[in-house]
Amino acid sequence: KHRSKPIEELVLESQKLASNGVKELILIAQDLTYYGLDLYKKRNLAELLKELAGVEGIEWIRLHYAFPTGFPMDVLEVMNKEPKICKYLDIPLQHISDPILKSMRRGTTKAKTTGLLKDFRQIVPDMAIRTTLIVGYPGETEDDFLTLKNWVSEMRFERLGCFTYSHEENTHAYKLEDDVQEEVKQQRANEIMELQSGISWQLNQEKIGKVFRCIIDRKEGNYFIGRTEYDSPDVDNEVLVDAKNFYVKIGEFVELEITDAADFDLYGKPVKQSVLD
């Protein structure tokens, strides 16, 4: 069962992290929307976010793994009001075809999920939504897949990952027949990611000329590697800064102007930085 850590404990943990130089917190749970139900008898994620935002030294707070059923909408109000809460949400949807959602026991429908995402974007217009999808689930027909593909095209997710179904023991789906051929699964995953690549490229082109506050994570080869608030480490887009021409400090926040964009990465230059000789 879901078990929540008390708010006080999480605040204390965050204070210790901040005292050691940590600037970004990522809240990760099996399902963040459940937070507080056991301890406080209500969904209490918004209250936790308010308390964590008060921790000195922490500059970004990011949310990972919030399921669509029972999403506490007051979280969006906090996201709008509190600049430390990244306008970013990882909401693993897995599929959108109603028969597949029912078999997966997701407790939602295509109509409900689409409505929820539209509400997200209306309330927090510049939110980046990350999701993960599974193709080749037992019983997934060509029609189910086309429903998913068309929906991805319609929703234009800022961030998306796609996996092929894996028949694992001790799961509900293990009782079902793994009836989609491996090459079909892979082809479907490739189609989704090709579609997403085009969407990501278009969204990235719109960022050229804009300035983003980025954290600089590391240096690789001739580039410093940073991220915007719309990107989680290791899984999302990165902003590359040419180290031959510019210097930025690792671990610091820097204002970067986006000068170019590829499918999944951006290129930028510091706004307040003289060019290196």
Residue 88's pLDDT is 98
pTM for the complete prediction?
A: 0.92
Q: Which fold has domain 211-270?
A: OB fold (Dihydrolipoamide Acetyltransferase, E2P) (2.40.50)
How far is residue 144 CA from its own chain's centroid?
24
Region of residue 259 (phi > 0: left; psi between -120 and 50: alpha; otherwise: beta) = alpha
CATH architecture, range 7-205: Alpha-Beta Horseshoe (3.80)
Residue 152's pLDDT is 98
Residue 168's pLDDT is 85
Residue 172's pLDDT is 81
**d(C-alpha 138, C-alpha 204), whole Å:** 35
Q: Among 126, 150, 151, 135, which Cα is nearest to 210's? A: 126
Residue 170's pLDDT is 78
Residue 273's pLDDT is 63
Residue 167's pLDDT is 86
Half-sphere exposure of 254 (CA within 13 A, CB side): 26
For residue 73, give the DSSP letter.
T
Residues across the chain: 277
Residue 173's pLDDT is 83
Residue 169's pLDDT is 80
**d(C-alpha 223, C-alpha 215), whole Å:** 14
Give domain limits for the chain: 7-205, 211-270
Q: What is the mean pLDDT of each run of 10 residues along the chain (277 residues)?
A: 95 98 96 96 97 98 94 96 97 97 94 97 96 97 98 97 90 87 97 97 97 97 98 95 96 97 96 64
**d(C-alpha 101, C-alpha 110), whole Å:** 8
For residue 60, give the DSSP letter.
E
Going along 45-158, which residue ranges are E strands?
Answer: 60-64, 85-90, 128-135
Q: CA-CA distances (angstroms) from residue 26 to 16, 48, 117? A: 15, 13, 21
Residue 71's pLDDT is 94
Q: CA-CA distances (angstroms) from residue 25 to 28, 36, 43, 63, 254? A: 9, 19, 20, 9, 18
